[in-house]
Amino acid sequence: MARKSWIQRESKRQKLEQKYHWIRRSSKKEIKKVSPLDQKKWEKIHEKLQSSPRNSAPTRLHRRCFLTGRSRANYRDFGLSRHILREMFHACLLPGTTRSSW
């Protein structure tokens, strides 16, 4: 189980990302439209983009396990970590999956 502080930090990042999503998106579109010769306008848009908090960047988000909060070895299709997924396979809780035996 992940620490509760890590999970809370991640949820805070998700909220910040949602809050600043449209600001970042519009600023990036404006930068693409500005010609390279108009340096002052480009710097103004760039400052606006840089003024947003670092934790609002989408690259700082991590996928976490739905049940345990584990940040590593997550499967997108299920939203679960490999430990929980394996337990569910063995308990036959996920339809269409088979156990592998060697």
43-98 pLDDT, tens digit each: 888 888 888 898 888 888 888 888 888 888 999 888 899 989 888 888 888 888 77
Give the Cα separation of 102 and 41 in Å (integer).
64
CATH fold, domain 63-102, is 30s Ribosomal Protein S14; Chain N (4.10.830)
Q: Which residues partner with 75 through β-bridges?
A: 80
pLDDT at 5: 87
Q: What is the largest CA-CA distance in the chain?
A: 65
Contact 16, 55 (CB under 8 A): yes
- Confidence bin at 31 (pLDDT 50/70/90): confident
Residue 102 has pLDDT above 70, yes or no: no
Structure tokens at 51: 């003024």
pLDDT at residue 3 tops 70? yes
Residues 6+ apart with CB under 8 A from 77: none
The pLDDT, as a whole number, for residue 16 is 93
